[in-house]
């Protein structure tokens, strides 16, 4: 390798390392936003709910920084093979992390609405604590797999996702039963159904990150490598363009 090539390679490597640090920062913001969103909901803590809104703004700014870094790396260094996959995967993962943070923001907005209406949190909502723990754990595992190019650490993501799905289904039935029995006001129950869905979607985004890591490391895009069930005729998220997030609209319930 000639001296100019060595300089070029060193500059690219430094840029990739800087990109990894930016990704870790965004992941940390996402994890904190999820944790704080659920804690604020369970405690009715408006101050903590406001912190989640601030974290959402921070995540948005970080996404712009990462996008700029990725574009500059491609434009200045023309990376190929694994380096290029790492950059394009970073762009995809920022979308999943950004949507997860936005879902956490929606949970904090529910906290604010309930506080304004002076509504206490029912016991059923404590189940969401476990959902939040699992969802955050999935995000942590997926991002660490990205940073360390470790496919094996995300192989069991489907098991965690299944656990979140089971909690989601059980809590949904509890909420519906409460509204049917009139022990839970329908406007309140409707909000909790949204929160339940938001956390389930966060776990889905974590699985999506894990799938992108598999592609980044191996260069192959196998059909749904981390998911257990495979609906007939559907394509893997790695093949298909990202669809609009079902949790993106603000959870305004009359």
Cα distance between residue 192 and residue 172, in whole Å: 9
Q: Counting runs of H as helices and runs of E as strands, what totals does the chain give?
A: 6, 0
pTM of this prediction? 0.82
62 token code pair: 């970080």
CATH class label, 8-218? mainly alpha
Confidence category of residue 209, pLDDT binned at 50, 70, 90: very high
Higher pLDDT, 159 or 98: 98
**Mean per-residue pLDDT, 135-150:** 89
> Tens digits of per-residue pLDDT, 72-97?
999 999 999 999 999 999 999 999 99
Report, in angstroms and rounded to the nearest whole number, the Rg of the chain calculated over CA atoms: 20
3-state secondary structure of 118: coil
Cα distance between residue 170 and residue 36, in whole Å: 23
In contact, 131 and 61? CB cutoff 8 Å: no
In contact, 88 and 212? CB cutoff 8 Å: no
Sequence ranges of the domains in the chain: 8-218
Q: Which of 111, 115, 99, 120 lies closest to 30, judged by CA? A: 99
> Cα(first)–Cα(last) distance of the chain, in Å?
66
Confidence category of residue 228, pLDDT binned at 50, 70, 90: low
Helix, strand, coil percentages (3-state) for the chain, rounded to 5, are: 75, 0, 25
State the pLDDT at residue 97.
Answer: 96
98 token code pair: 């950004």
Cα distance between residue 184 and residue 62, in whole Å: 39
Mean pLDDT of the chain: 84
Confidence category of residue 35, pLDDT binned at 50, 70, 90: very high
> Tens digits of per-residue pLDDT, 56-75?
999 999 999 999 999 999 99
**Mean per-residue pLDDT, 135-141:** 89
Q: Which residues of 127-158 are buried (b: 16+ CB within 10 A; e: fewer)?
A: bbeebbebbbbbbebbbebbeeeebebbeebb
Higher pLDDT, 238 or 9: 9
> Tens digits of per-residue pLDDT, 99-131?
999 999 999 999 999 888 776 666 666 677 888
Strand segments, DSSP code E, in 83-208 are none
Strand segments, DSSP code E, in the chain are none
223 token code pair: 């059909």
Q: Which of 115, 102, 91 lies closest to 191, judged by CA? A: 115
> Tens digits of per-residue pLDDT, 165-190?
999 999 899 889 989 998 888 888 89
């Amino acid at each position: 390798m000639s001296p100019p090539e060595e300089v070029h390679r060193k500059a690219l490597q430094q840029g990739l390392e800087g990109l990894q640090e930016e990704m870790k920062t965004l992941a940390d913001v996402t994890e904190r936003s999820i944790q704080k969103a659920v804690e604020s909901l369970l405690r009715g803590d408006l101050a903590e709910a406001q912190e989640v809104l601030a974290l959402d703004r921070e995540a948005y700014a970080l996404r712009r920084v990462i996008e700029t870094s990725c574009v500059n790396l491609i434009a200045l260094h023309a990376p190929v093979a694994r380096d290029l996959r790492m950059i394009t995967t970073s762009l995809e993962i920022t979308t999943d992390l950004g949507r997860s943070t936005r879902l956490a923001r929606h949970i904090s907005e529910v906290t604010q609405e309930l506080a304004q209406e002076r509504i206490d949190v029912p016991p059923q909502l404590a189940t969401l604590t476990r959902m939040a723990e699992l969802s955050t754990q999935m995000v942590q595992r997926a991002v660490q797999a990205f940073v360390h190019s470790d496919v094996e650490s995300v192989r069991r993501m489907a098991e965690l996702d299944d656990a979140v799905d089971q909690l989601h289904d059980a809590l949904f039935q509890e909420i519906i039963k409460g509204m049917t029995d009139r022990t839970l006001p329908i406007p309140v129950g409707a909000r909790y159904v949204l929160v339940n869905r938001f956390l389930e979607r966060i776990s889905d985004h974590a699985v999506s990150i894990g799938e992108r890591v598999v592609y980044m490391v191996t260069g192959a895009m196998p059909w749904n490598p981390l998911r257990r069930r495979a609906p007939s005729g559907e394509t893997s998220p790695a093949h298909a363009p990202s669809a609009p997030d079902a949790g993106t609209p603000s959870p305004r319930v009359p």
